[in-house]
Structure 1
Amino acid sequence: MRASLIQIAVDPYESVDSRRQRAAALVRQQRGTADLVVLPELWPVGAFAYESFEQEAEPVDGPTFWAMSKAASDAGVWLHAGSFVERDAEGALYNTSLVLSPAGEPVRTYRKIHRFGFDKGEATMMSAGEELVTVPLTLPAAGQDGRDGGGQKGGGAGQGAEETTLGLATCYDLRFPELFRGLVDAGARLLVIPAGWPARRREHWTLLARARAVENQSYVLACATAGTHAGVEQSGHSIVVDPWGEVLAEAGADEETVTVDLDLSRVATTREQFPALKDRRLGLTPPPRPRA
């Protein structure tokens, strides 16, 4: 399986519509190259551009969906289209991720569970998601996707197709390991984390991405934004980590695309050779709270 992380730079002087079209063009460039493409968190508006959330909010089937649906179909890739500001039928806002099939069809949405802001910003403006979300993927087997014979990828699943499961999380979720345990229990083998992570906490970004990979013995595909959101410099440094915690690829601070080959069998091999997940002890009784 080959995955591409597109680390989009958010320029406050670029319109949302212009950035949608630019992101769609970057996705189309992955035709014949990647099986799975991942975009960052809130790239249409900027993760810290709180004053624009209300104005740029859209339904799930709004302009971001249509632009990304066409791009996924044109490229013939599974597309995790990052996240956007969703407005539901009751008017509530969510930080919502969208996964599209190689035919451009919507497959899953994920509403961010842990909202960042400490009683301001996203934490007060957006509602919290309440469901863990996984996505089953079916990929052409190695040598059957057409990349070696002219660069045209087929989206169908033929004999010997590979299957895997994505677990979805977003940015601040990365700090809450219990969420990822739940995703692994639901069958996830690749953990996909779009983010708008501040540059001043970049060391936390790489540390936590590696920790989630090691403790869950899963691949981590963490795609961040570059540029500046409402005066907040972004970390960039999108990263791909294998189930043993080794960094397979890492971007720099500017806009770029990182592409890496993933051996899906490595998840099972790691879990068999070092079966730490089997030693989990659940349902332990917490100690009593001390009396005041």
Structure 2
Amino acid sequence: MKIALIQLNSIWQDIETNIQQAENFIQQTEKADLYILPEMWATGFCTADAKDASLALHWMERIAKESLCAIAGSLPISKENGKFANRFYFVTPTCSSFYDKHHLFRIGGEDKEFEAGQERTIVHFGEFRFLLQICYDLRFPVFSRNANTDYDAIIYVACWPASRKLALDSLLTARAIENQCYVICVNRTGKEKTLRYDGGSCIISPEGKRLLDLGCSPNIQTTDISIEELNSFRQKYPFLQDADAFQLF
């Protein structure tokens, strides 16, 4: 499966400009099966002054249908109770799935206006099963544990600041190795208020090797991941068969 990572410098609360940025990147690269955008890619990491980004979801649905592909990324979406969800959409030509961020970033005030999701979401697309996760979820390995080998890749979309990049790189590699899966991360780049983002979007193999690294600047890159290679690795090293048994809520 060909995966395209779109590393954006999201312009604060400018949904139309951010949509155009994303579309320009898609048009300038080879066709992929799955395009992935960062966390809150259409608005920036808005918490105290959240803005509904349903317009960006409609664009994602159009791109998926026109290009016969899947496209994924998170958006702030208003709920009927007045709260927001940081909602990670996985959109295909025929349907949409979503995951609401479970671990809200208290330091950034995300817990004030946003409501935490309670369910894990695994999406089946092509030959792969993808676990959807968002940024801060990365720090909590129990929530993403591949206890029953029920997924093949984790996708993390993020607004992870440059000041904590060592933690990002270390934890992404750990998640790939401990869960014997591909780990795909798409982080934003650029500056927003007092924060700087250094990108570092990547794809990591089940062995912990970097198959793709986008560096620090806005760009798009693609690579292939193989379900056959993953299954072969799991058969050769069946570590997950000896994992501790526990029940995820």
Settle same-fold status: TM greater than 0.5: yes
Match of 1:75 in 2: 67
Q: Which has the larger radius of gyration?
A: 1
CA distance in 2, matches of 1:17, 1:109: 22
TM-score (norm 2): 0.92
Structure 1 gap segments, 5+ residues each: 139-162, 285-292
Instruction: Measure how far apart 1:206 and its partner are.
Output: 1.0
Check if 1:106 corresponds to 2:95: yes
Aligned pairs for 1:1-292 within 5 A: 1-12=1-12, 15-30=14-29, 33-47=31-45, 49-53=46-50, 56-58=51-53, 62-80=54-72, 82-101=73-92, 103=93, 105-118=94-107, 121-138=109-126, 163-181=127-145, 185=148, 187-283=150-246
Which consecutive aligned stretches of 4+ in structure 1 deviate over 6 angstroms post-superposition? none
Rounded to whole Å, the distance in 1 between the matches of 2:28 and 2:63 is 9
Cα RMSD over matched residues? 1.9
Change in CA separation of 1:271 and 1:187 when aligned onto 2, cut-off 3 Å = same
Using the size of structure 1 for normalisation, the TM-score is 0.79
Q: CA offset at residue 220 of structure 1?
A: 0.6
Q: Give me the whole-angstrom Cα distance separating, in 2, the residues matched to 1:26 and 1:229.
A: 21
Residues 144-167 of structure 1 deviation map (CA, whole Å, 9 limit, x = unaligned):
xxxxxxxxxxxxxxxxxxx11111
Give the deviation of 1:76 after TM superposition. 2.1
Q: Is the 8 A contact 1:28 1:71 kept in 2?
A: no
The more displaced of 19-28 and 105-114 is: 19-28
Residue 24 of structure 1 deviates from its aligned partner by 2.9
- CA deviation after TM superposition for structure 1 residue 274, in Å: 1.2
1:39 and 1:199 mapped to 2: Cα distance?
18
Q: Distance in 1 between matches of 2:164 and 2:246?
A: 34
Q: Give the partner amino acid of 1:133.
A: T
Post-superposition CA distance 1:53-111 (Å, at most 9, x none): 1xx124xxx2111111112222221111x11111112222110011111x2x4321110
Q: Report the alpha carbon displacement of residue 224 of structure 1 after superposing the two structures with TM.
A: 0.4
Does the CA-based 8 Å contact 1:46-1:230 persist in structure 2? no
> Structure 2: which 5+ residue stretches go unaligned?
none
Percent of aligned positions that are identical: 28
Q: Which residue of 2 aligns with 1:143?
A: none
Q: Which secondary structure does the structure 2 equivalent of 1:124 belong to?
A: helix
Aligned length: 247
